[in-house]
Structure 1
Amino acid sequence: MQSLNRQAIALISDHADPAAAVGGEEAGGQNVYVRHVGENLATLGWQVDMFTRKVHSDDADIVQHSPHCRTIRLRAGAESYIPRDKLFDHMPEFVQSFQAFQRTHGLNYPLIHTNYWLSAWVGLELQKTSAIQLLHTYHSLGAVKYQSVQNRPQSADTRLKVEREILEKANCVIATSPQEENTLRSQVSTHGKIEMIPCGTDTSNFRLMSKLDARRQLQLNLHEQIVLYVGRFDPRKGIETLVRACALLKEKGVNNLKLMIVGGSSPHMPDGEERNRIEKIVCELGLKSEVMFAGQIGHDVLPLYYTAADVCVIPSHYEPFGLVAIEAMACGTPVVASDVGGLKFTIIPEETGLLVPPQDINAFAHGIHRILFDELWARKMRKQASANVIQRFTWGGVAIQLSELYRHVLAQSIMHEQPRNLRKPDLKNVLNSSFSKKSFLSVSK
């Protein structure tokens, strides 16, 4: 539904469908980010169209989330799952599909916010022929990823080039933590504009609840010490480190331990290989009765798992931000996480959780043990963690900051002379559309 008094903007998330169920292959933090940013921007007065690649032929071409926010699925390659490392060849078709959609529906997007490097390439191509204002969020960086990967994909050099180019040519890049901003400057480029705006979480869904009630609803043992992992199966997520840390705790006499692993997709998907590897390690360590693979869990039920757990562990080798951390903390669950990337920003050590060296089995075992067996301290952290998230990481607050940044970028573009043959954004729509008063708050620096 297009509104004449709203400025239309486009969010591009080529491989991560904002309308997809979270938890499956290519459905994780980026999907959550784009979906919630889009929906909350719509409440602030924008007309938001979120573009992604159509993966299944029976999926709807357009999913209407609210009157002014929708997901639009474009054809780019076969309508089937294609691994990210092989998607770049289909991005020219994505650009063509995007342009065709604009022409067919008589739309003009003066501002485009791209997500991940593949979408960045799309944005850079669109920038060549249109007077768009281009913003970008990375979600992950090849410059970091390839440091710990033995076999780099064929697209690695292209990805590194695009990640540098988008920083230098976009109107603004959005870093989700100070640590990500520092990484961009040290490993990508010293040129280009960066604003720091964090990710958020839905605090109406992820909130303090009764642990007893949560365990009863999930039919979990009321007396077990529950350690939780939430995320996809990927070697870089460090699940092996967590499993071995739990084995070490068992060796040291912790007998009522239960490790719950939430997430993952079907066995024929690439992350199924990693799940099989982890299951094999679990069996080799004699932990089969202590580990539960819960599989995909919907966001409506996921808060119960966070609440039921005594501690949530994030053993990633690197995280630009780490949505799981703030989801867990919003539910009052203390976190033990790798001392890397944005996790240094989201977690306050000794107050909302613990940070330990990545891939350090002993350090993770020690951190988990501290939280499990210091009940008074854990109870204090439960309250502090939830309050910290409400204060710093809500999607509403994130959207307000992004909205103000968008308005600033569009206003600047109007003030600068542009080629006569390119359509300018409507100044009245940009500055006087039905924004919430909150959207006029200045961007956090």
Structure 2
Amino acid sequence: MTLPSVAAFTDTYFPTVNGVTYTIQAWRDCWRQRDGDMPVVYPGTDEYDPDEREYPVRSVPFPFYEGFRVGVPKVPDGVGDPDLVHAHTPFGLGMSAMRLARSRDLPLVASYHTPTSEYAAYVSLGEHVERTIRRTARRYEHWFFDRADVVVVPSERTREHVRDRIGIEATVEVVPNGIDTERFQPVDPGDFLQRYDLPTDRPIIGYTGRHGYEKCLPDIVAATEDMDVTVVFGGDGPARPDVEARAEAADLDVRFLGFLPREELPAFYSALDVFAFPSPVETQGLVALEANACGTPVAGVDSGALAETIEDGVNGYSYPQGDGEAFRDAIRRALDDRAELSGRCLERRETISIDHAVDRLTDVYQGVLDAEPADVPRNRS
């Protein structure tokens, strides 16, 4: 089967490290392994040298979120003549994707990776302003995504969100992001524990990823404060000072490891007894799946896509959003059932793989290309 050439546009890419960045790179690499072409257009920075078929454009820093940059809309000549266009952002380079699709009458696929409105707290100056920004963000999302031929979301819960909360009428298809199951598998964590001076005589509860306010990370400290455990945080972000302040006030052994190289993450997950995940805004929650692929159960909030990702008694336990006692109980239950849950996590590895995700993505692309013009209203004006 000859794969279509897909031009991918994103405002989130390396050197920024997050789930969106790794998903785009993983899809691109898998596409290439299958002899497909997927050029990636992204915000350029001196800190990252482009790989083959990666095209940086001029970018500007986003003033309210450190480390995030927005690409100045442009379609590099090197992109060539794609068969379809995939926008991984509704902002600067998403507009480039829309422009390319419209100018050449190509199908436009748009991924809904992140609920834009959830970041209102970063730019607001008060409750009234925050509500206004949230409403404006949802209106803009509706405008952009409803002009795509197909909107791709990573979970059923996210499909419900874009349908019910944003009111998107375009076709919405679920394509799980997938994870690299060759990388993420159980490993001996001994060297990792020694390198970071972590204990071997008590359970370890942990989280890694972006430290954003919307992730509710101080809840992890609150839920574990009366437990004889060590809590470890990998990653970084604007909310880290708040998490550190909460940890300093707690009678608890809390460690902050900072940014962890990707090659260390399998050992990090394998070192944990439970991965704690209180974020209610996930569209899928890749770090939870990475932990599961390494045999580590998750104690997470029953909200957003995590309500779908976490199956109680199978790969972890969930709790109602805002219920600190229930979060504590979910962690304790996951600790008690750790061995049984770990085995079940490993049994499900193939269903969360990148290959499985790209199989589904291929079907979506082919469906758009095969659709008659009457079936797919191309690039709504």
TM-score, scaled to structure 2: 0.88
* Kept in 1: contact 2:205–2:272 (CA 8 A): yes
Residue 277 of structure 1 is matched in structure 2 by 242
Task: Find the partner of 1:9 among 6, 19, 28.
Answer: 6
Give 1:155 shift: 6.6
Shift of the 417–156 alpha-carbon distance from structure 1 to 2, 3 Å rule, reads: closer
Q: Does 1:305 align with 2:295?
A: no
| CA distances 1:362-414 after superposition (whole Å, capped 9, x unpaired) | 11112112222x2xx310100101222x2321001111111222122223369
Shift of the 194–221 alpha-carbon distance from structure 1 to 2, 3 Å rule, reads: same
* Kept in 2: contact 1:143–1:187 (CA 8 A): no
Shift of the 309–418 alpha-carbon distance from structure 1 to 2, 3 Å rule, reads: closer
Distance 1:296 1:89 in 2: 19
Residue 84 of structure 2 is matched in structure 1 by 111
Residue 164 of structure 1 is matched in structure 2 by 142
Give 1:417 shift: 12
Q: Does 1:82 align with 2:65?
A: no
Q: Does 1:263 align with 2:243?
A: no
1:368-383 paired onto structure 2 within 5 Å: 368-372=331-335, 374=336, 377-383=337-343
Shift of the 94–208 alpha-carbon distance from structure 1 to 2, 3 Å rule, reads: same
Shift of the 378–131 alpha-carbon distance from structure 1 to 2, 3 Å rule, reads: same
Q: How many residues align?
A: 372
* Kept in 1: contact 2:7–2:79 (CA 8 A): no
Residue 141 of structure 1 is matched in structure 2 by 115
Shift of the 88–201 alpha-carbon distance from structure 1 to 2, 3 Å rule, reads: closer
Which structure is higher in RCO with an 8 Å CA cutoff and minimum separation 6? 1
1:135-284 paired onto structure 2 within 5 Å: 135-143=109-117, 150=127, 151-152=129-130, 159-210=137-188, 215-216=193-194, 219-247=197-225, 249=226, 254-255=227-228, 257-264=229-236, 271-272=237-238, 274-284=239-249
Distance 2:23 2:210 in 1: 16
Shift of the 316–416 alpha-carbon distance from structure 1 to 2, 3 Å rule, reads: closer
* Kept in 2: contact 1:110–1:131 (CA 8 A): no
Distance 2:232 2:131 in 1: 32
Q: RMSD across aligned C-alpha pairs, in angstroms?
A: 3.1
Give 1:415 shift: 10
1:270-349 paired onto structure 2 within 5 Å: 271-272=237-238, 274-287=239-252, 290-349=253-312
Q: Does 1:360 align with 2:311?
A: no
Distance 1:125 1:366 in 2: 50
Shift of the 314–416 alpha-carbon distance from structure 1 to 2, 3 Å rule, reads: closer
Shift of the 155–43 alpha-carbon distance from structure 1 to 2, 3 Å rule, reads: farther
Residue 54 of structure 2 is matched in structure 1 by 71
Distance 1:173 1:418 in 2: 13
Q: What stretches of structure 1 of length at least 5 have no aligned partner?
A: 21-25, 65-69, 265-270, 420-445
* Kept in 2: contact 1:317–1:340 (CA 8 A): yes
Residue 425 of structure 1 is matched in structure 2 by none
Give 1:138 shift: 1.2
Residue 423 of structure 1 is matched in structure 2 by none
Q: Which amino acid counterpart does residue 22 of structure 2 have in structure 1?
A: V
Q: Which amino acid counterpart does residue 346 of structure 2 have in structure 1?
A: S
Distance 1:392 1:328 in 2: 14
Q: Which amino acid counterpart does residue 10 of structure 1 have in structure 2?
A: A
| CA distances 1:223-248 after superposition (whole Å, capped 9, x unpaired) | 1210011111111111111111122x
Q: What stretches of structure 2 of length at least 5 have no aligned partner?
A: none
Shift of the 41–365 alpha-carbon distance from structure 1 to 2, 3 Å rule, reads: same
TM-score, scaled to structure 1: 0.76
Task: Determine helix, strand or coil for the equivalent of 1:313.
Answer: strand
Shift of the 201–304 alpha-carbon distance from structure 1 to 2, 3 Å rule, reads: same
Distance 2:341 2:69 in 1: 48
Shift of the 277–107 alpha-carbon distance from structure 1 to 2, 3 Å rule, reads: same
Task: Determine helix, strand or coil for the equivalent of 1:301.
Answer: helix
Give 1:6 shift: 6.8
